[in-house]
Amino acid sequence: MAMNRIQFQPGLSLPEFYKLFGTEALCAAALQRARWPEGFGKTPRQRCPDCGGAAHCILRSSGSKVFQCNACRHQTSLIAGTVFQSTK
């Protein structure tokens, strides 16, 4: 029988994948690190999309984080503007 190349490709094993992304909280933390590596509001690219303000607070509504700008009160979520927007 021929070797299944898909089965033996390099990358994460299933236990390694579950260690990194096994729960919704771990997935959210990984997305936050990928989207804002230095934290929300730390660099000009990672500031409020409306006014550019860096000061913010974190609101928790139904388990998901919502970042609110202290200057203009614009709210953005972790998945807003990503491929995950409008998904559950």
pTM of the prediction? 0.66
Angle at which helices 14-21 and 24-35 cross, to 10°: 80
State residue 22's pLDDT score.
92
pLDDT digits (tens, 9 = 90+) for 3-49: 777 667 678 888 888 998 999 889 888 888 888 777 776 666 667 77
* Residue 62 reports pLDDT greater than 80: no
Q: Domain extents for the chain?
A: 15-77
How far apart, in whole angstroms, are the C-alpha atoms of residue 9 and residue 44?
39
